[in-house]
Structure 1
Amino acid sequence: MVLKVIGKVYSRTKFLARVAKFLDIETMRTLTTSLIQCDYDYACILCYYRTAVARAGMVDEFEKKVALTIPVPVVTQTSAIDAQEEEANKNAVAYLEVSKARLSSQLEKFHNMILFDQMTFDNLNDTFPETKLDKEKHP
């Protein structure tokens, strides 16, 4: 009986290992308790009745008649989720590399530019082309 309960508890809490990095310890404790409490109570009640009931086979007959079977869903999407996670990590690394290159070029521009108090309008327009006045659009 104990091995059956341990097997059920293990099968129900396998997913907690996968999502452990997203949960805090109190949430994990609550989920674990709620998942295993019904099996634990069921096993304790049957163990107590086996010792308390005078007729030996009566509890076993009851257990066979009222067998509590809760189906455990089969995990089929784990490989797809892992592939998506790996692809997202690759995209994030690529984005970081592009961002570092862009930021280093902008930082180089700021290191090489003339100080603001020594700039003329021509130097400012050369360094920052977006500040140049457009005489065609705004005469």
Structure 2
Amino acid sequence: MGVGAGGCYRTTPTRAHARTHGALPERDRRIIAKDARNLRYLFINKAAEKQIGMSRAEIVGKTARELFSKETADLIEQRDKQLLAQQQQLEPITDTINNPIRGRRQVSWRRLQIGGAEEDSHIFVTMVEDHGKEMGAAA
């Protein structure tokens, strides 16, 4: 990463970028960013808003525990701890989550960290794919 014109950061595409960049059509890429220090959501794009069924205003500034069922919040927190331990998680992990608006859904996510615990900025970025399958209560 380097500083470009006007002091803006620019990045050089990597293999990880190439793997995740072509995974979904542009309009369907669901991106979520979270502050790794307090696990509060910082950003959610329109595609992710639609998938979750809540607006950005309802999500940003809150934790998974404030938004989702105990079961789903526990799973998200478990994935956050795994990401802290392994730094990057570029291979998709598929889970069944209980979406408060859309019901039980099968989703895959790729995640990475930007920054670190000792830096001013420490962010988790998640790219989510909803497999569109509503799961029964027994799933």
Shorter-chain TM-score: which interval? under 0.3
Tell me: higher relative CO, structure 1 or 2? Use CA pairs within 8 A at least 6 residues apart. 2
Structure ranking higher in strand proportion = 2
